[in-house]
A and B are shown apart, each in its own frame.
Chain A
Amino acid sequence: MTPTRVGLIDDETQALKMFQWEFGEQFEVYTFISGEDALAALADGLVIDVLISDQRMPKMPGDSVLVAIRQRFPDIQLLITTAFADVEPLRRCVNEAGVYGYIEKPWKPDLIVKMVEEARAKQLQKELENTRTQAHIKAWEEKTRGRRIGDIRSICNVLELPETVADKYLDVVTKVASTHTSHWTDVGLLSESDDDRIALDFLRACQLICAEEPRHSNARHTDSIPLVRSMELITRCSGPPGPSFDVTKEEGRLTVNFDACGAFGDSYLDPLSARDQETLFRNALLLLALAEMERVGWSLTVDPREDRLMGSVTFPT
């Protein structure tokens, strides 16, 4: 097992040397002549498990050092040591730095060993808990996403769309939609029945768009519908200064390059996405636009930019 990495901050070189001599064989010891030195070393990537700081030091006092370390390196266990009975800094060490213990000077080596070992044990327990929590969050995200991918395939079946549309939808939405970082408190907030309701809302949004189709495509040939839907999608995602287009012609095909200047928005696949009608509508519109493109041999390519909907629609001429 790796020895515990213990740091000591003290403005007296004698104290640092004594600490190194006393505990150097038992722990991996690092010493710092000031709080600033310790902070710089940690910022440079030095890993320390338990850090002990003297309170009275000329530049940065111990309580300020420990509060700064707690804010920037929350996993380090902290101990304060002092020969003086200054109450306010000690109170700050407890309330703001969350120190594990207080060691009076002159040290009793046994007490240092006991406190360091206890603090390290607490740290390991927290690490284990965090690892388990992260694994649990990941599993929950994957399960929810898997369920929603299944929903998209079912929606395609109900609407009699080819399954390749679902795959294309997953590809596009993964590239352009924004996702949210889950926290353990999110886990379990969304029940399976809520998820079923969202899937039904998604299906209703698709059906609503399909029902409104004649109004949009009035007097147009069916082949122009993909462009209508694509245009509506781009318009819905547009931001200032508004969407822009350019057209490139190559032999046998025409490509409309677009930049909506705005974000596509939340992904239906994201467990933490917004569940409002607009989000569902936009996602449904994308699915249907892709279905129409698939039907008439067009294709949509998007740039993988989460903050902006941009890409190109290509069709044969």
Chain B
Amino acid sequence: MTDWKTRIVFAGPDGKFPAPELSGLGDVIHISFAETRLPAYDLLVLVDPPLDWLERTHLERVTGAVSLLAMSSPTAQHIRVGLNRLGVDVICDIDAIYIEVERLRSQLWTARAKQAILSLEQESQ
């Protein structure tokens, strides 16, 4: 059975940005950039992550997960590290977070539905 619940990890600088209301789009865990390890997630939202955090935190491309880098003024280095270490799927402005999360969530669900169908096929063989 496909689990349609989306685990969203929202990492942002505490108190600086009002987090958009993402709870309607899935289960949300908020973490700050004091953490150096990410919880398991389906959808990762990074809001203005410091470059050194991106470089020292344990990051990896997670198969079947998607990630979003939201920045007020991204630098090439942020993009490089985010892309190469995390495989970031979208880079957007802070005010576009909600709409991009919604879009990525549909993308995620589509991929899951496909996997579910293929798994059913394997089971039936």
Contacts and interface: CB of A to CB of B under 8 A. Distances in A.
A95 B76 CA distance: 14
Residues of B contacting A: mostly: helix
Contact of A185 (B76, B80, B91, B113): B113
Contacts of B84: 101-102, 115
Nearest to A90: B79
Contact of B91 (A85, A91, A100, A132): A91
A256 interface: no
B58 interface: no
Contacts of A100: 83, 87
Interface string B51-95: 000000000000000000000001111011001100111111000
Contacts of A172: none
Contacts of A87: 74-76, 79
Nearest to A91: B91
Interface in A81-120: 82, 84-87, 90-91, 94-95, 98-102, 104, 115
B114 interface: yes
Contacts of A82: 76
Interface string A152-193: 000000000000000000000000000000001101100000
A87 B87 CA distance: 17
B21 interface: no
A184 B79 CA distance: 33
A102 B80 contact: yes
Interface residues of B, number: 21
B29 interface: no
B3 interface: no
A98 B104 CA distance: 13
B42 to A, nearest CB: 18
Contacts of A132: 118, 121
A13 interface: no
A209 B83 CA distance: 64
Contacts of B121: 132, 136, 139
Given A91-B74, A94-B90, A184-B114, A101 B79 contact: no
Contacts of B25: none
Contacts of A129: 114, 118
A188 B79 contact: no
A184 B91 CA distance: 29
A250 to B, nearest CB: 54
Interface string A3-34: 00000000000000000000000000000000
Interface in B31-45: none
Interface string B89-125: 1111000000000000000001001100110110000
A94 B88 contact: yes
A82 to B, nearest CB: 8
B76 A188 contact: no
Interface of B: 74-77, 79-80, 83-84, 87-92, 110, 113-114, 117-118, 120-121
